């Protein structure tokens, strides 16, 4: 959202973009906003949105194994987070809103499909700087395998 009026601009500044608060006067702020509008107008309509897609060869971690009490990560979760972050490729996220597709390769038929979702999405946020409030669609798939894995893609929701 690019503000159109001064009132919208001040609301925008106070809610989302505190960097604007360092501007010295209103004309400087309006200049920054105008530059943002120009970038939007000049965006190439034929460019395809970027999709991040990857398979990580690591057993999905259950949310039950991730937290001690209400607030503290377990050693298993900290290790899982390190391992996943190490295996994730560097990439720029696509434009918002997002659709995330995740396939969990479980080693047991007793595994719940939704258990590892929160942990994994939090790690994706940490790596790619996305915010899960911008995820409007998520597709989950469960498969039973001999060695656990997580396959995922992040793309712009159309």
Largest CA distance in the chain: 62
Which one of 28-32, 37-41, 60-64 scores highest in mean pLDDT? 60-64
Cross-strand partners of 135:
98
- Specify the residue for token string 């994706």: 124
pLDDT of residue 5: 59
Among the four given CATH numbers 3.30.200.20, 3.30.1330.30, 3.40.50.1970, 3.30.1330.70, the one describing domain 52-156: 3.30.1330.70
Average pLDDT over residues 111-137: 93
The answer, as to whether pTM is greater than 0.85, is no
Question: Which residue ranges does the chain devote to CATH 3.30.1330.70?
Answer: 52-156
pLDDT at 34 over 70: no
Average pLDDT over residues 133-145: 95
Comparing 3 with 88, which gets the higher pLDDT? 88
pLDDT band at residue 14 under the 50/70/90 scheme? low
Cross-strand partners of 139:
101
28: left (phi over 0), alpha (psi -120 to 50) or beta: alpha
pLDDT at 19 over 50: no
Rounded to whole angstroms, the Cα distance separating 134 from 66 reads 24
Tens-digit pLDDT profile for residues 1-11: 555 655 665 56
pLDDT at 146 over 50: yes
pLDDT at 130 over 90: yes
């Amino acid at each position: 959202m690019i503000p159109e009026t001064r009132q919208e601009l001040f609301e925008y500044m106070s809610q989302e973009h505190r960097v604007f608060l360092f501007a010295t006067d209103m004309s400087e702020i309006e200049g920054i906003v105008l530059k943002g509008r120009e970038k939007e107008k000049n965006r190439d309509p034929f460019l395809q949105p970027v999709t991040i897609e990857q398979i990580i060869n690591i057993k999905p971690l259950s949310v039950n194994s991730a937290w001690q009490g209400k607030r503290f990560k377990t050693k298993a979760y900290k290790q899982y987070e390190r391992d996943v972050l190490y295996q994730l490729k560097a990439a720029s996220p696509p434009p918002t809103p997002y659709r995330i597709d995740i396939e969990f390769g479980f080693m047991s038929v007793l595994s719940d499909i939704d258990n590892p979702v929160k942990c994994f999405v939090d790690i994706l946020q940490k790596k790619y700087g996305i915010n899960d409030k911008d995820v409007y669609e998520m597709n989950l798939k469960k498969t039973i395998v001999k060695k656990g894995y997580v396959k995922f893609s992040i793309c712009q929701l159309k």
